[in-house]
Amino acid sequence: MIRTILSLITIPCLSVLTFAQVKTDQTASRPLAAQTQGLSIPSDELWLNPQKTFDERKALFLDYSSANAPKSGRTGIFAQVARLAKGLALDDAVLKSALEFVYSNADCNDFTLGGLLRIMYLYQNTNLMSPEQKRDIERCLIDFNYWYDEPGSDGRCYWTENHQIIFHSNIAGRIRSNIENNPKVCLEASELGKMLPSNVALEFSLQFRSVVVFGTARLVIEPEEARRVLYGLIQKYFPLMTPGQEFREITDKELRSTSVYAIQIETWSGKENWKDRADQSKEWTPLEEKWFE
């Protein structure tokens, strides 16, 4: 069961592959936030350009992240991800606090679950976790309410824009007519990479990552909700622009001429092919390197 859960869920937590460029020179204006293993850990100052090697910046980032985070509640577990990456054992008190928050079914407990998933995925077969800790995390992952129709009390919010897919169209037309007649929808999103040549006709391919979502679309009727989600769409693609400053706020007339829809996600599946080259056959002349450039 646990292997299935880990293979299906994308882990939305701290990534140790992208590292902050922490400023450590004498121009830092903020006080040191922590001392870890004799290393001075600065606060959240950033370099405009890297001043150390990647491995040095990685070490600074992990030191800072493991030392500067809450020790309990929703976000405490994320510092443990950094600690484990440094080879330090999982803190039992922090883990228990994270498990209690997940079991509380409070809003955003799925964020904490992401940290637990990452820890289980990367460290369940190491000596950095005790058998009891592994058992408790696995039990929590299995017990978690993954959707609102599962039994038990639930204080989470499923209806905000970050739990739905939002889109819009004209006030009348094929999209609105189809949805009003049958709100069951399917949506596909892809990221495409490079073309992958082969020396076998049936092995030509391309790099892609694809997700297919199935759900039920609804028309957003309340004007304030429609405004909020439309501003959310704009902010996603133009995060530095502010309504009422760089662009005019949405008017009542504009809102009346726009249909806004929200898709409640019911099921989804994903597929990925991101290998560097397509399969080649030894039974045919190998392709020249120019075809892979």
**How many Cα neighbours within 13 Å face the side chain of 159?**
5
The pLDDT of residue 49: 79
Same domain for 100 and 173, yes or no, is no
Predicted confidence at residue 204, as pLDDT, reads 92
Residue 289 Cα distances to 193, 194, 195, 258, 274, angstroms: 18, 15, 14, 52, 19
Which of 170, 178, 181 lies closest to 256, judged by CA?
170
Q: How confident is the model at residue 132 (pLDDT cuts 50, 70, 90)?
A: very high
Which one of 152-156, 172-176, 191-195 scores highest in mean pLDDT? 191-195
Q: Are residues 173 and 112 in the same domain?
A: no
Residues 107 and 205 both lie in one domain: no
- CA dist., res. 91 & res. 96, Å (int): 9
Q: Is 116 inside any structural domain?
A: yes
**CB-based contacts of 226, cutoff 8 Å, min separation 6:** 220, 255, 258, 260
Please state the φ and ψ torsions of residue 132, each to the nearest 5 degrees: -65, -40
**What digits encode the pLDDT tens for the residues 223-252?**
888 888 888 888 878 888 888 899 999 999
Neighbouring residues of 7: CB distance < 8 A, sequence distance ≥ 6: none
What's the number of domains the chain is made of?
2
Q: State yes or no: pLDDT of 34 exceeds 70.
A: no
Compute CA distances 16 → 83, 110, 238, 252, whole Å: 11, 20, 27, 46
Task: Report whether pLDDT(119) > 90.
Answer: yes
Are 110 and 145 a contacting pair, CB within 8 Å? no
CATH number at residue 199: 2.30.110.10
Please give the pLDDT value at position 37: 41
- pLDDT confidence of 156, banded at 50, 70, 90? low
**Are 193 and 117 in a shared domain?**
no
Q: Look at residue 21 and tell me whether its pLDDT is greater than 60.
A: no
Does 170 score more than 90 pLDDT? no
pTM of the model: 0.48
Terminal alpha carbon distance of the chain: 43
Structure confidence at residue 3 (pLDDT):
36
3-state secondary structure of 212: strand
Is residue 104's pLDDT more than 70?
yes
> What number of other Cβ atoms are within 10 A of residue 266's Cβ?
12
Same structural domain, 128 and 202: no
Interval 250-275 mean pLDDT: 88
Asked whether residue 231 is assigned to any structural domain, the reply reads yes
In a domain, 135, yes or no: yes
Please tell me whether residues 23 and 86 are part of one structural domain: yes
Domain span at residue 260? 161-273
Q: Is residue 288 part of a domain?
A: no
Q: Which pLDDT tens digit goes with each residue over 45-86?
A: 667 777 888 888 888 888 888 887 777 778 889 999 999 999
Report CA 33 to chain centroid distance, whole Å: 28
Q: Is the pLDDT of residue 120 over 50?
A: yes
Burial of 236 (0-12, 13-18, 19+ CB in 10 A): exposed
**Alpha-carbon gap, residue 253 to 286, rounded angstroms:** 63
Q: 84, 113, 143: which is the final residue of a domain? A: 143
Asked if residue 198 and residue 118 are part of one domain, the reply reads no
Per the prediction, the chain carries an average pLDDT of: 79
